[in-house]
Amino acid sequence: MNVITPTTPRVDTSRPTREEAEAAVRTLLEWAGDDPTREGLIDTPSRVVRSYEEFFAGYEVDPVGLLERTFEETDGYDEIVLLRDIRLESHCEHHMVPIIGRAHVAYLPHRRVVGISKLARVVEAYAKRLQIQEKLTAQIANTIQQVLQPRGVAVVIEAAHQCMTTRGIHKPGVTMVTSKMLGAFRDDPSTRRELLGMIANRGTTITGD
């Protein structure tokens, strides 16, 4: 089984300064044909840089570290654990425009479970980087498999890509679906069918109110 080794947070002393990043935004504004010194744009470079800190915060997060704390007191629970409809916001590495969708993450525990918020944080850690959806799907699944070593891992992502909907071919309403199945989800068709049925069954919504 090929495993993608998770990347660690980047430490780069040659990283451009905030001032250099803001200057680059001003250059783009001028290239687009506008005046970066006019009232409406004068603070835009600093706003863009701050937004990029949010968009690409995943480079500063170690996804493996997020999963290191696990729990063994499960009373023998060994069925599917599924976190469904995780909001996903990423950016296409080819055009730097948004990828918006949802991720479904499941695993079959083997003695250990992890806090469910950690699964969502792993999704976010990889999504908050420049990505292609295929790689993003594999990174999430492989990291969970590597750290938890469960009997199976499954990740399904459904997302719309603005590089396709707002430019180029201009096809709004198109959704890309990718999946990565490991262990029992890959090898056992009945387990895979059970999972896909759980993902598709949205007839009842639990709000927690």
Angle between helices 133-148 and 116-127 (to 10 degrees): 140
Whole-number pLDDT of residue 6: 52
Strands 176-183, 130-131: pairing kind: unpaired
Whole-number pLDDT of residue 9: 53
The whole-model pTM stands at 0.88
User: What does the alpha-carbon distance between residue 98 and residue 131 come to, in Å, rounded to a whole number?
Assistant: 10
Out of 20, 68, 94, 134, the active site residue is 94
Catalytic residue check, 110 = no
pLDDT at 7 over 80: no
pLDDT at 113 over 60: yes
At 134-160, the pLDDT tens digits run: 999 999 999 999 999 999 999 999 999
Out of 149, 162, 163, 194, the active site residue is 163
- Give Cβ neighbours of residue 134 (< 8 Å, ≥ 6 apart): 178
Mean pLDDT of the chain: 91
Out of 89, 95, 149, 162, the active site residue is 95
Least confident of 43-52, 97-106, 161-170: 161-170
Whole-number pLDDT of residue 183: 97
pLDDT at 13 over 80: no
At 55-93, the pLDDT tens digits run: 999 999 999 999 999 998 888 889 999 999 999 999 999
CA neighbor of 63 nearest in space, from 136, 120, 6: 6
**Average pLDDT score over residue span 34-44:** 97
Catalytic residue check, 163 = yes
Out of 68, 93, 110, 134, the active site residue is 93
Cα–Cα distances in Å, from 161 out to 12, 35, 39, 152, 156?
Answer: 29, 30, 32, 29, 16
Out of 131, 133, 139, 145, the active site residue is 133
By the 8 A CB rule, do 118 and 156 touch?
A: no
By the 8 A CB rule, do 133 and 157 touch?
A: yes
111 falls in which pLDDT band (50, 70, 90)? confident
Catalytic residue check, 93 = yes
Cα–Cα distances in Å, from 34 out to 21, 44, 46, 94?
Answer: 18, 12, 16, 24
Catalytic residue check, 91 = no
DSSP string for residues in 133-161? HHHHHHHHHHHHHHHH--SEEEEEEEEEE
Out of 89, 92, 149, 162, the active site residue is 92
At 95-110, the pLDDT tens digits run: 999 999 999 999 999 9
Catalytic residue check, 158 = no
